[in-house]
Amino acid sequence: MEPVDNRTVRGLSSFFTLVALNLIYVVTCIPVLTIGAATSALLETMDAVRTDPDTDMLRTYMAALKSDKIRGTVVFWTLCLPALLALFAISFWWSVGGAAGTIAALAAGLFTLYLAASTAHGMLLVATRTAPARTTIHNSLLLPAAAPGRSLLLVLVPVTEIAVAIAVPVSLILILTVGVTIGALIQTAVAAPLYASLS
C-alpha cells in the first residue's frame, strides 16, 4: 500500500498539473483561430486521463495540439460559425416581435442548440477518433439526433460554467484554473459510452 505522504504528494502534483494545463489551454485559445485545435487537444488529454490517471497531461496536450491542429480547426469553425449565426438570428427574430417573430426565435434557438451539440461532438470526435474532417463533421451533425440526452449534457457543461461565471464573477478564477479541464473530463465521460458503439 502506498504511504499517505506519497499519495499526498502525487495528489498535489496532479492538481498543480491540472491547473497548469487549464492555464495553457486558456492561453492557446487567445488567438481565437486556435480554439478548435486547443479544445480538441484538451479533450484528448482528459480522455487519456479518464482511462489512465497517470497520464502525462502536459505532454499529451502538446502532442495532441500539434497532431490535430488542422482537423480540430476545420471541424470547429465549420460547425461553430453556423451556430453563432443561428444565435444572432435569435436576437434578430426576437426583436421583430409578434407571433411570427417569437416562433422564428424559438426555431432559431433550437437550431442553435443542435449546432452547439454538433460542435461539442465534433471536438470530441477529433479527440477520440482519427476520421477525416469531412467524416467527422458528418457524424457530428447526426449524433445530436441519435443521442439527444447525452448531446444536451455535452452542451450543458460549458453553458453551466458560463452561467456561473456571469452570476458569480469571482468564480471565473476557479473556472480559469481548474474548471475548464474538469468540464472537459465530464464531457469525455458522458460521450465515452456513445462513442464506444461507433465503428
Provide the 3-class DSSP secondary structure of residue 151: helix
DSSP 10-60: HHHHHHHHHHHHHHHHHHHHTTSTTHHHHHHHHHHHHHHHHH-TT--HHHH
Closest CA to 69 of 42, 50, 46, 48: 42
pLDDT tens-digit readout, 162-195: 999 999 999 999 999 999 999 999 999 999 999 9
Ramachandran bin of 186, using left for φ above 0, alpha for ψ from -120 to 50, beta for the remaining angles:
alpha
- Considering the entire predicted model, what is its pTM? 0.92
* Domain range annotation of the chain: 4-195
pLDDT tens-digit readout, 113-160: 999 999 999 999 999 999 999 999 999 999 999 999 999 999 999 999
Q: What is residue 46's predicted lDDT score, i.e. its pLDDT?
A: 97
Closest CA to 19 of 193, 194, 175: 175
pLDDT tens-digit readout, 5-39: 677 878 888 899 999 999 999 999 999 999 999 99
- Sign of the Cα torsion 124, 130, 134, 140 reads negative
Cα separation, 191 vs 199, in Å, equals: 15
